[in-house]
Amino acid sequence: MGVQKKTRKFAEVKRVIGKNDARRKENLKKAEEAVEKAKRERAGPDGNEKIREIPQVPSSFFFQANTALVPPYSVIVDTSFFNRTVQMKLPLLETMMDCLYATCHPIVTDCVMAELEKLGPKFRLALRIAKDERWERHKCTHKGVYADDCIVSKVSKDRVYIVATNDSGLVSRLRRIPGVPIMKCARGKTLSRPPGPQYGGGRLPVCLQKCNGTPLLTKKLPTRPMELRHDANPPGPAAAKRSRVLLSCGPCRASKLGCDRSTPCGQCLKKSRPEGCVYAPRRPENPRPVKGMAARLRRLEGMVRTMMDDGGGGGGDGVIPAGLRAEEVGVAQPGGQLVRGERASTYVGATHFMAVLKDIEDMKSYLEEAELTDDESPGPSSELEAPDLVFSSGSTPRSREDLMRLVPDRKVVDRLVMRYFSSHSPSQHIVHRPTFVKQYARFWADPAGAPIHWLALLFMIMSIGVFYSNITAPHELVSDSPQPPMERFKVFRAAAAKCLIWGRYTQPSIATIPPLILYVESEFTISRAAQTNCYVLSSVCLRLLLKMGLHRDPDQLAGISPFEGEMRRRMWNMASQLDLLVSFHMGLPSMLSGIDSDCELPRNLVDEDFGEDSAVLPPPRPATDYTEMTYPINKSCVMRVFGQIARQAHLLAPPPYSEVMRLDSLLGEAWARVPQFMRVQPLEQCVTTPASQIIQRFGLASLYNKSRCVLHRRFLLETLPRREHDHSRRQCLEGAIALLDFQNTIWHASQPGHMLSQNGWYVSSLAVHDFLLAAIILYLAVGNRQFWDSGIEHEWMTEMSPPPTRKRLLHLLQRSYSVWASIAADVSELRKTAGILETMLSKLGSPPNSPLKDEGGQVLSVSGLRESISLSSESRPGQ
């Protein structure tokens, strides 16, 4: 039977029509003719197939990222996600917010709810959670379909949703839809996946670009956004390809052997060819192009909105320049400036003082001045330049042994640590002193066993200690080492960066945060002009804090000791202040704008009040007691309102005046809570007050008055002044006058032999941006004719004490210019500031006076403040 079956099966196979059968060829020919006929019927006049429909691409995909996805996020939740959160006992909303770091709104559709009801009693808990009144309920207008089909249809129509699902089948369908992120619940938390691929592997075939309000059909977007060109100029020469660094010697490279990079190497010694062991020379670095002051100043031209004819300059008659007139009745529109440079474009928001220049005309003459005689281009960067934490580069140290060789003798380290803790640095409170003393003793007992992150903290403390010693006791550094102080500062700072990189700072622990914050603060201290690195570093630091959950108050989290919880509060408030200040100085929005945080202010406790063994925190000390936490706590109170003011200034539409007055009330309440002993007082009454406390008073007062200026500046220049805005005009002008008074007081007190001569480093870090903002506001007020027209009464000006006059405001501008001009003689970064004020005074018909003199008619020396600011200039990378 087996043989017969095989034979029968073989016979069936042989009866199949062969490939060369005539009947098969005839059928193939008929099929081809039918296909060609169908193509001719569908073809148009030009012979090509008619295009029936082109799929519409969402406009939010123009930059290859779904720009429609912004907080608060809308998250569509499906059946499987509800069930998985029940199984893992996870709160739905909290885990989503921990994953997204922003507010989100869960959405439940009717189809998802119907599917949960059909699944029976096993899903009754998931159904109960889905019926929570906090979730948004979306009505489905289509006929009954599966929940998966409903979600796919919804996200295909509107690309503004995130889908939370654990269904692999739904995930595979969603991955085919570009721009739809996916969330899943796994490993005891909520995870997110990136959106699906774009059309054509990252390209957009069709998009709508709005140009002057007209939709234009454009070509395919390039694969990388960096290839987008905004002008019609032909591309420049291609960048030179970076050659590979050759580390092995020539014979080992030719023989493909492992070279130990000795001189000669082990392989060449084995093969008896030491004379042939030759290494490739290092590729010389390309010199940086020389770029003078005039070229850098020309970048400011992009920040000016309109330029008038050269003949329309203002004279001394007090007539308002044409550029100061508002284009329409009402409040000035908030906004920023996009400055296009030779190598990059930079957006400057409404908080940056250069954005105020859009209200000033005829500044172009200052920007087009002749090239300065001295060469101010930065020199080539040193090999010991501190490596960037985001894109690490640098050659030293290469190993832990090299790292430990950088630690000086103990007596030197003891003195540098003492200098740091006696300097009253703003970030000192994030290092718990008693705990650091214990760890410091363990380090000297066993240097090799010190954790890598603690070494980063030690190097940062030594680095900042060198910075302070160079101001207060430079002779100590000379006896320690022949190396220049700022070179030692850079070496220690580079070592701290290496420690953070080796310690994987992107996977942080609580020990990672203090050295990282000190690193960002040192960047903010030494980089007064170019703060892009600091802006990036502060954002990275804040994201790492979010990763660790420091934006949540420790009382809301489990498993955190009282000691760690208090230190987390201190670190979060310090990092928030850094991010707000750097963002404000850059004129860009802060990361904190989209973060919901419930972290409370630190307690008014000194370090000796609590420790690692504390079971509970002791009651905080009274607010009337001056402690090391008094300044950080009061600054955080004002800074939180300042953050809301800066966020409002970046809005694309002007806010209602009621919202402005609400923030004004919050600012007044925050300032009212500042105790009297932290308010600015006449210096003759402060002879028994520590210099650090005097500086802290000026810091708080400058922050308060700067907030007043930013909040109310838009109401200063109204074409038709409205009486209800008089309060804003008065607040803005009072804040600017107070800031320039502070500048004069600080400058006098910083002279050699005066009260603040040893604290000039902190004075310089307060000043440039805030004082220049105040000067520009006074310039706008002096140049506005309606303020000084004798036929118009301004009750809000008479309410000020003393009432401002045009002569007094000009005197304040003259005095501010004299200060900047005196300091700028040796500090190149401040020459631009002095030049801006000189141009303002010339446009107002009041040319700059001679350098500022004291009551006896003698020209005041500014060596003390000049040296402190020069120190920051010399320590800047690349100079």
Q: Each residue of 562-572: pLDDT tens digit? A: 999 999 999 99
CB atoms within 10 A of CB 506: 14
Check whether the bond before 397 is cis (ω within 30° of 0). Answer: yes
Backbone angles phi, psi at 33, to 5 degrees: -65, -40
The token duo for 487 is 């070179």
Instruction: Give percent above pLDDT 90 in the chain.
Output: 20
Shared-domain flag, residues 336 and 450: no
Answer whether residue 229 shows pLDDT above 70. Answer: no
Q: What is the mean pLDDT of residues 31-52?
A: 75
CB contact set of 264 (below 8 Å; sequence gap of 6+): 249, 274, 277
User: Would 247 be classed as within a structural domain?
Assistant: no
Query: Rounded to whole angstroms, how far apart are CA atoms 57 and 220?
Result: 12
User: How many Cα neighbours within 13 Å face the side chain of 241?
Assistant: 2
Query: Rounded to whole angstroms, how far apart are CA atoms 113 and 90?
Result: 20
Residue 159 per-residue DSSP state = -
Shared-domain flag, residues 636 and 599: no
Shared-domain flag, residues 472 and 536: yes
Q: What is the mean pLDDT of residues 299-317?
A: 43
User: Would 29 be classed as within a structural domain?
Assistant: no
Query: Rounded to whole angstroms, how far apart are CA atoms 803 and 781?
Result: 13
Shared-domain flag, residues 679 and 739: yes
Q: What is the mean pLDDT of residues 343-348?
A: 45
Helices (H), 750-826: 760-782, 785-788, 795-798, 806-823
Report pLDDT for 642: 93
- The region that residue 211 occupies, defined by phi over 0 for left and psi between -120 and 50 for alpha, beta otherwise, is beta
CB contact set of 674 (below 8 Å; sequence gap of 6+): 634, 637, 638, 700
User: Which of 819, 827, 825, 820 has its CA nearest to residue 879?
Assistant: 827
Helices (H), 368-409: 400-405
Beta bridge partners of 734: none
DSSP string, 11-41: HHHHTSPPTT-HHHHHHHHHHHHHHHHHHHH
Query: Rounded to whole angstroms, how far apart are CA atoms 362 and 842?
Result: 11
Shared-domain flag, residues 350 and 421: no
Is-contact 604 627, C-beta < 8 A? yes
Count of structural domains within the chain: 4
Beta bridge partners of 210: 215
pLDDT digits (tens, 9 = 90+) for 51-93: 666 666 676 665 556 777 888 889 999 999 999 999 888 888 8
Answer whether residue 834 shows pLDDT above 70. Answer: yes
User: Which of 604, 596, 603, 727 has its CA nearest to residue 661?
Assistant: 727
Beta bridge partners of 209: 216
Is-contact 418 412, C-beta < 8 A? no
pLDDT category of residue 50 using cuts at 50, 70 and 90: low
Q: What is the mean pLDDT of residues 647-670?
A: 91
Query: Rounded to whole angstroms, how far apart are CA atoms 606 and 604?
Result: 7
Shared-domain flag, residues 679 and 530: no
User: Would 312 be classed as within a structural domain?
Assistant: yes
Shared-domain flag, residues 409 and 334: no
Print the domain residue range for 602.
400-609
Query: Rounded to whole angstroms, how far apart are CA atoms 391 and 535?
Result: 14
Beta bridge partners of 337: 348
From residue 576, alpha-carbon distances to 70, 352, 580, 696, 706 in Å are 21, 19, 6, 18, 18
- Given 155, 175, 193, the domain boundary residue is 193
Report pLDDT for 512: 92
Shared-domain flag, residues 589 and 637: no
- Given 162, 177, 193, the domain boundary residue is 193
Report pLDDT for 317: 42
User: Would 54 be classed as within a structural domain?
Assistant: no
User: Would 696 be classed as within a structural domain?
Assistant: yes
Is-contact 184 81, C-beta < 8 A? yes
Backbone angles phi, psi at 738, to 5 degrees: -65, -40
* Maximum average pLDDT range among 325-329, 477-481, 600-604: 600-604
Report pLDDT for 6: 56
Helices 691-712 and 657-672, packing angle to 10 deg: 170
Shared-domain flag, residues 718 and 863: yes
Report pLDDT for 517: 92
Shared-domain flag, residues 171 and 78: yes
Give the chain's radius of gyration (CA, Å). Answer: 34
Shared-domain flag, residues 651 and 594: no
The sign one gets for the Cα dihedral 264, 266, 272, 276 is negative
User: Would 142 be classed as within a structural domain?
Assistant: yes
Q: What is the mean pLDDT of residues 866-873?
A: 40
Question: Dihedral, CA atoms, 664, 666, 670, 672, nearest 10 degrees?
Answer: 70
Answer whether residue 223 shows pLDDT above 50. Answer: no
CB contact set of 180 (below 8 Å; sequence gap of 6+): 66, 155, 159, 161, 162, 163, 174, 195, 196
pLDDT category of residue 188 using cuts at 50, 70 and 90: low
User: Which of 226, 363, 377 has its CA nearest to residue 302?
Assistant: 363
Which residue type sits at 408? P
User: Which of 836, 865, 684 has its CA nearest to residue 766?
Assistant: 865
pLDDT category of residue 575 using cuts at 50, 70 and 90: very high
The pairing of strands 345-348 and 337-340 is antiparallel
Is-contact 823 864, C-beta < 8 A? no
Helices (H), 385-531: 400-405, 410-421, 433-445, 452-472, 474-480, 485-502, 513-526
Shared-domain flag, residues 464 and 570: yes
User: Would 258 be classed as within a structural domain?
Assistant: no
Query: Rounded to whole angstroms, how far apart are CA atoms 222 and 242?
Result: 23
User: Would 60 be classed as within a structural domain?
Assistant: no
The token duo for 394 is 């640098």
Query: Residue 169 is part of a domain; what is its CATH number?
Result: 3.40.50.1010
Report pLDDT for 197: 52
User: Which of 627, 632, 804, 806 has its CA nearest to residue 733?
Assistant: 804
pLDDT category of residue 633 using cuts at 50, 70 and 90: very high
Is-contact 556 617, C-beta < 8 A? no
B/e letters for 216-237, b = 16+ CB within 10 Å, e = fewer, are: eeeeebeeeeeeeeeeeeeeee
CB contact set of 232 (below 8 Å; sequence gap of 6+): none
- Given 172, 193, 214, the domain boundary residue is 193
The token duo for 374 is 């001295």
pLDDT digits (tens, 9 = 90+) for 119-172: 888 888 899 999 988 899 988 888 777 888 899 988 888 888 999 999 988 998
Query: Rounded to whole angstroms, how far apart are CA atoms 709 and 250?
Result: 66
Give the three-class secondary structure for 465. Answer: helix
Give the three-class secondary structure for 340. Answer: strand
Backbone angles phi, psi at 249, to 5 degrees: -75, 170
Helices 630-649 and 691-712, packing angle to 10 deg: 20
pLDDT digits (tens, 9 = 90+) for 370-389: 333 343 444 433 333 434 44
pLDDT digits (tens, 9 = 90+) for 725-783: 888 888 888 899 999 988 888 888 887 777 877 765 444 544 677 888 888 888 888 87
pLDDT digits (tens, 9 = 90+) for 509-560: 899 999 999 998 888 777 655 577 888 888 889 999 988 889 899 888 888 8
User: Which of 583, 477, 568 has its CA nearest to residue 524?
Assistant: 583
